[in-house]
Amino acid sequence: MRIKKIACIGAGYVGGPTMSVIAQKNPDIQVTVVDLNVDRINAWNDENFENLPVYEPGLDAVFAEARGRNLFFSTDVNKAIVDADMIFISVNTPTKTYGKGKGQAADLKFIELCARQIADVATSSKIIVEKSTIPVRTAATIKSILDHTGKGVQFHVLSNPEFLAEGTAIQDLHNPDRILIGGEDQEAILALKQIYEAWVPGERIITTNLWSSELSKLVANAFLAQRVSSINSISELCEVTGANVDEVANTIGQDARIGSKFLTASVGFGGSCFQKDLLNLV
């Protein structure tokens, strides 16, 4: 099946740039990004690219090509759901601040709200794509909500985690190390794969089962965080012995089996993802 219309629920850091590049590379597919936050949608629609809610080098060039042609931003979530063949869920999954798992587990209330809204509104079969970072087997929760609509509408759930870094998101999207697609239905997997094949070499597109895909995102961030933590612990040893941690990191980074990335010693690791995803994995 060929996808003609895509909807993305969530116009944040992941949804906005990702859908922009998908629209840029697939001019025959209509891509609509929706969000209930009116100010955020207005910012994405601003004529001045400097006022976009996300700053990423290269995003303005992508926008100049795609926005208004086949890339649209709207607050009409229901219409986008009804019209779309494929729906990406790209909403926030913060760490829980209440109840069981408080301070550690991911809060899936926004994911579940999306699933319920899709179930309530959809009148035709859809492919649902998890883009948010979520715990393993979240797809089962989404599928359970979708399959109990009583409408006879068919849904296929895929996992397609993002691997973007702040400051290089457009570069990461244009030239990804890998695209990961997890699912059980081969036709649905192929439909998503064809979208990425518009610019990503086939050998870089990995297909797995749903649970391997969901887990791989968390494990990737855990391994990266582990590298930072390891070199930080070595920095203490350097202070005691008189060694220079930058020189040690540079030396071991020359080993092809180890590599040089994520070996910069610091007070910890930055950003929100590593801490959130590590807690999620634990």
Read off the amino acid at residue 136.
Answer: V
Both structure tokens of 43: 């910012």
Read off the amino acid at residue 52.
Answer: L
**91, 9 contact by CB (below 8 A):** yes
DSSP type of residue 96? P
Catalytic residues: 273
What is the C-alpha end-to-end distance of the chain, expressed in Å?
38
Both structure tokens of 38: 């009116």
Q: In what order do the strands lie in the sheet with 71-74?
A: 71-74, 30-34, 5-9, 86-89, 126-130, 155-159, 179-182, 205-208
Phi, psi of 180 (to 5 degrees): -110, 125
User: What are the beta bridge partners of residue 157?
Assistant: 128
